Structure 1
């Protein structure tokens, strides 16, 4: 089965090359990697050009990650879809391990794995302690940890563009309510980089408000019609 990987990038010049290389360098490489530049104003676009035809590059005005991902999915050709954040890293055997599970268990629609959080080496010493995660390695029901059958992704419906930071949380909740069959590999599949530009760690109030909104929407969707 063909695998398409989607990466949304906004002002990601510091980390995007390493993220892309971690996807291209898989023991079983993906069939296509689609990177969408969400209106970057730094050197992201120049870095993307250096990859030539190894990746497909799309551009748009800054509209948020949910919009960017939707645009990339519209052209993705794979029967399986993976995601990588522009500042994170896939471990080398991510696709190999997840493909093996999907082939072995035909009823499974989405595979997750463990995530290892690490403070980026470029964070100044004086800032490292506040970014240090309480738990370094944990199960990762995150977008970047998931490999999913395209049919299951589409069945759960599109990502909510009104939730730019928590659209995947809302989508996953809806997908599970609709019967998504998921499984986990017992391996680290993603290394999540913690740095000063992480919106969820530097703007926690906004993140918490959006999470509550996503939960309210999920609860409302579960209520029977009056």
Structure 2
């Protein structure tokens, strides 16, 4: 089955090349990698251009990650869709393991795996304790850990663009309510980089508010219609 991978990038010049290489370097490489540059003002676009026709790179005005991811997903031609964040890394066998899981059971619609969190090497020693995760390795029900069948994504719908910080939390809640059949591979599929630019660590108030909004939407969706 054809696999498309979507990456949204905003001012990601420090990490984007490594992220893309981790996707292209899979033991079972994807068929297309779509990178949406969300109005970066640094050298992100120049780095994307270096990959030539190994990726599909587009630039849009800065609209937020949810809009960029939805745009890339709409362009994708694969029957399977994966996502990578611009500062994270896929482990080399991510697609191989997840494809095997989908092939073993054709009723499974989306496959996740474990995530390993790590403090980015360039973070100064004096700040590293601040970013050290409470749990290093955990089940990763995160966008970048997921490989999903396109038909399931189309059935559930794309990401809520009004929740730029927590759109995947809201989407996953909606997906589970709709009966999305999930599976997990018992291995690390993503290495999540922790650094000062992580939105969830630098803008916690906005993320907390949007998480509350997402939960309210989920509760409202569960209520019977009058």
TM-score class, shorter-chain normalisation, is over 0.9
Unaligned runs of 5+ in 2: none
C-alpha distance after superposition, 1:96-148 (max 9, x if no partner): 00000100011100000000000000001111000000000000000000000
Q: Give the Cα separation in 2 of the matches to 1:191 and 1:174.
A: 26
Q: Secondary structure at the match of 2:191?
A: strand
In the alignment, what sits opposite 1:139? 139
Q: Give the Cα separation in 2 of the matches to 1:204 and 1:76.
A: 32
| Cα deviation, residue 149, structure 1 | 0.2
**RMSD of the TM alignment (CA)?**
0.5
| Cα deviation, residue 59, structure 1 | 1.2
In the alignment, what sits opposite 1:22? 22
In the alignment, what sits opposite 1:158? 158
In the alignment, what sits opposite 1:113? 113
| Cα deviation, residue 70, structure 1 | 1.0
In the alignment, what sits opposite 2:61? 61
Q: Secondary structure at the match of 1:13?
A: coil
C-alpha distance after superposition, 1:7-27 (max 9, x if no partner): 000000000000000000000
In the alignment, what sits opposite 1:210? 210
Q: Which runs of 4+ in 1 moved over 4 A?
A: none
| Cα deviation, residue 207, structure 1 | 1.1
Q: Give the Cα separation in 1 of the matches to 2:74 and 2:202.
A: 31
Q: What pairs with 1:1-226 in structure 2 (closer than 5 Å)?
A: 1-226=1-226
Q: Give the Cα separation in 2 of the matches to 1:53 and 1:134.
A: 40
Q: Secondary structure at the match of 1:7?
A: strand
Q: Give the Cα separation in 2 of the matches to 1:158 and 1:222.
A: 19
Q: Secondary structure at the match of 1:170?
A: helix
Q: Give the Cα separation in 2 of the matches to 1:153 and 1:70.
A: 11
TM-score if structure 2 supplies the norm length?
Answer: 0.99
| Cα deviation, residue 225, structure 1 | 1.3
Q: Give the Cα separation in 1 of the matches to 2:75 and 2:131.
A: 36
Q: Give the Cα separation in 2 of the matches to 1:59 and 1:198.
A: 21
TM-score if structure 1 supplies the norm length?
Answer: 0.99
Q: Give the count of matched residue pairs.
A: 226
Unaligned runs of 5+ in 1: none
